[in-house]
Amino acid sequence: MRTKKNIFLIAAITACVVFACEKGLDEETFSVFDANTLSKPVNGDQAVIGTYAALKDNGGYGYYAGYLYWLYEYPADVVTTTLTARQGVQLDQLTYDASNSAIGDVWTSIYRLISRANESEELISNIDYVGNGSTDKLKNQHLAEVRFLRALAYYDATSLWGSVPLLNKPSSQFSEADENPPLEDQATIEAAMIADLQFAEENLPPSYGASEVARATSGAAKALLGRLYIRRLEWDNAAKKLEEVIDKGYDLRNQSEGGIVSLFSRDNRSDNEFIFVLKSSSETGAYTINSNSFGQNSTPWDYNRGWGNFPLNLSFYSIFNPADARRDLLTGKFTTIYGQIMAVPKEYGGEAEAADKDTLVANFVYNLKYPHTGNYNYSGFNNVTVIRYADVLLMRAEALNELNGPNQESINLINEVRTRSNLPGYLLSNFTSKAALRDAIFEERHKEFFMEGRRRDDLIRWGKSASNGVNPLLKFKEKVVPTLKNPTTYSDAVNYVYYPYPQIEIQSNTSLNSGVNAGRVK
């Protein structure tokens, strides 16, 4: 009996060993792996970098790598076009319409950046930084970086179109209506931008370590906010905000450092005069992705086999004092790749009297702010300036003049910029009226910032302040009409302050109809 018992026991134990070892695993488990929710601080950093990358969109000519400055420079009075680029000619000669592809490209790039910023904002917000060994300070910095970039995109959108769709939420929160967003008042957009920039100035660091190049600083947020205030003619806000940037780690590149010409040297892309730039990489394989189109397009073929797509009117050369170092950023006289001398004619302040076999008389001048070398070298390793310190100085000078009329601080600020370029300083007694000093400031900006994307905004603001806000196109018309091939192209029925909404947007956004472009095109 005992034996039998033993046997049953052994059999039972055996059965347990064989069958029971799987017990407890039989419970069915279910999990969702959702890669759409990235959860580590490093993912937050990646989201930030991805948002910066949208500044150049797909590289080449995208957004700040090219087309944006087409829209800012071509219609104004300095940069003109060669006849080969049809889209550019339309912008230059004010014959564009809603189907101009550069207008459509910039619109798309802007909203692509905004969309990336929105997605990044949500992603960063959902990441537990502290719980993953990081800090909330870094989390707020990451949020501040994407909000700064979003504000910059809206700055461009409102400069170019005025009222635009406001879309500050991630796609996960989209309703049906968000897929066809209506136009929002410019003031509403600007309120959102101010909120973004105020958050950014609070939460961005004043500077970064050497490995983190070209990221937005609190100074960049303040300078952009100052630029927005000044566009809104809020002089007091602008003066105060810009003062917060002055002497905060930025200065002009002075003559002992090589002056303004060396500021644009490719060896000097981290100068502390640059407050915020689109940085281009010199890493191998950077072609089209990290390059911009300015180097290749700025200079002519005869100079260094450039494409010469940004010729400047000769009359622009003539406004410079020959001592002005900024004139050295123009191709006044050079030896062509074929060995001839190309020079600006005497009547425009240059040296050429008449063409002969060794001398060519220039039809245009070209800017040297985006130097490049080599043949068909697309990889323009140049900074594309978004905001630099000289701009902050001149904007504060302008705001103080609008507030108080001619004043010593404005004169001092302008003189900083002038003396850096070998020019004598102004005296307060040179200016007897607010208007006179205003004109001097805009003339200074004209010479300082050519081909840096500022001229169109400047002409419109100049017109506004010179007409007490009544006629934003006062100066635009005065300066641009003489540069048109056919002056009758200019139409008083068109409000050139705003570009037409792109055709692609009107066709795909059911909230818009073709009527939205009334008064924006001929």
User: What does the alpha-carbon distance between residue 337 and residue 301 come to, in Å, rounded to a whole number?
Assistant: 8
Q: State which residue, 126 or 507, has the beta carbon closest to other proteins.
A: 507
Residues 298-317 that bind other proteins (CB under 8 A): none
**Sole binder of other proteins in the list 16, 20, 31, 183 (CB under 8 A):** 31
Q: Is 6 in the site for other proteins (CB under 8 A)?
A: yes
User: What does the alpha-carbon distance between residue 512 and residue 516 come to, in Å, rounded to a whole number?
Assistant: 7
Least distance to other proteins from the beta carbon of 378, Å? Answer: 15
Instruction: Find out whether 142 and 47 touch, Cβ atoms under 8 Å.
Output: yes
For residue 341, what are its two tokens? 């001398």
| b/e map 498-507, b = 16+ CB within 10 Å | bbbbbbbbbe
Residues 211-240 that bind other proteins (CB under 8 A): none
Identify which of 314, 348, 351 has the alpha carbon closest to the alpha carbon of residue 335. Answer: 351
User: What does the alpha-carbon distance between residue 378 and residue 372 come to, in Å, rounded to a whole number?
Assistant: 9
Least distance to other proteins from the beta carbon of 294, Å? Answer: 21
**Sole binder of other proteins in the list 20, 125, 135, 179 (CB under 8 A):** 179
Q: State which residue, 51 or 217, has the beta carbon closest to other proteins.
A: 51
Q: State which residue, 35 or 354, has the beta carbon closest to other proteins.
A: 35
For residue 20, what are its two tokens? 């029971």
Least distance to other proteins from the beta carbon of 431, Å? Answer: 52
Which of 4-12, 212-220, 320-328, 465-473 is the region at the interface with other proteins (rule: CB under 8 A)?
4-12
Determine phi and psi for 359, rounding to 5 degrees: -125, 135
**Sole binder of other proteins in the list 16, 20, 24, 30 (CB under 8 A):** 30
Q: Is 4 in the site for other proteins (CB under 8 A)?
A: yes
In this structure, what DSSP letter does residue 15 have? H
# residues near other proteins by CB under 8 A: 28
**Other beta carbons within 10 Å of 175:** 7
Q: Is 358 in the site for other proteins (CB under 8 A)?
A: no
Residues 493-522 that bind other proteins (CB under 8 A): 507-508
- Pairing assessment for the beta strands 333-335 and 164-165 based on DSSP bridges: unpaired
- Pairing assessment for the beta strands 359-361 and 384-388 based on DSSP bridges: unpaired
Which of 28-36, 182-190, 284-292, 479-487 is the region at the interface with other proteins (rule: CB under 8 A)?
28-36
C-alpha torsion sign, points 413, 416, 421, 427:
positive
For 431-471, the DSSP string reads --SHHHHHHHHHHHHHHHSTTTT-HHHHHHHHHHHHTTTS-
Report the interhelical angle of 101-126 vs 41-53 (nearest 10°). 170
Least distance to other proteins from the beta carbon of 504, Å? Answer: 9
Which of 167-175, 215-223, 323-331, 494-502 is the region at the interface with other proteins (rule: CB under 8 A)?
167-175
Q: Is 32 in the site for other proteins (CB under 8 A)?
A: yes
Q: State which residue, 17 or 493, has the beta carbon closest to other proteins.
A: 17
Q: Is 5 in the site for other proteins (CB under 8 A)?
A: no
Least distance to other proteins from the beta carbon of 291, Å? Answer: 18
**Sole binder of other proteins in the list 125, 126, 132, 171 (CB under 8 A):** 171
Identify which of 351, 304, 300, 301 has the alpha carbon closest to the alpha carbon of residue 327. Answer: 351
Q: State which residue, 29 or 513, has the beta carbon closest to other proteins.
A: 29
**Sole binder of other proteins in the list 12, 16, 35, 481 (CB under 8 A):** 35
List Cα–Cα distances, 475 to 157, 235, 395, in angstroms: 22, 20, 18
C-alpha torsion sign, points 369, 449, 226, 253:
positive
Q: State which residue, 28 or 492, has the beta carbon closest to other proteins.
A: 28
- Pairing assessment for the beta strands 359-361 and 164-165 based on DSSP bridges: unpaired
Which of 22-30, 357-365, 434-442, 478-486 is the region at the interface with other proteins (rule: CB under 8 A)?
22-30
Instruction: Find out whether 71 and 19 touch, Cβ atoms under 8 Å.
Output: no
Least distance to other proteins from the beta carbon of 127, Å? Answer: 16
The separation between the first and the last C-alpha atoms of the chain, rounded to the nearest angstrom, is 111
Q: Is 174 in the site for other proteins (CB under 8 A)?
A: yes
**Sole binder of other proteins in the list 125, 132, 135, 172 (CB under 8 A):** 172
**Other beta carbons within 10 Å of 287:** 12
Q: State which residue, 488 or 513, has the beta carbon closest to other proteins.
A: 513
Q: State which residue, 27 or 492, has the beta carbon closest to other proteins.
A: 27
Q: Is 36 in the site for other proteins (CB under 8 A)?
A: yes
Instruction: Find out whether 161 and 129 touch, Cβ atoms under 8 Å.
Output: no
Q: Is 84 in the site for other proteins (CB under 8 A)?
A: no
What is residue 345's three-state secondary structure? Answer: strand
User: What does the alpha-carbon distance between residue 150 and residue 316 come to, in Å, rounded to a whole number?
Assistant: 34
For residue 340, what are its two tokens? 């001839």
Q: State which residue, 58 or 407, has the beta carbon closest to other proteins.
A: 58
Least distance to other proteins from the beta carbon of 507, Å? Answer: 8
**Sole binder of other proteins in the list 19, 206, 211, 256 (CB under 8 A):** 19
CA atoms lying within 13 Å on the CB side of residue 6: 3
Which of 10-18, 69-77, 79-87, 295-303 is the region at the interface with other proteins (rule: CB under 8 A)?
10-18
In this structure, what DSSP letter does residue 385 have? E
Least distance to other proteins from the beta carbon of 150, Å? Answer: 17
Q: Please give the residue ranges that form the binding site for other proteins (CB under 8 A).
A: 3-4, 6-7, 10-11, 14-15, 18-19, 22, 25-26, 28-36, 171-172, 174, 179, 507-508
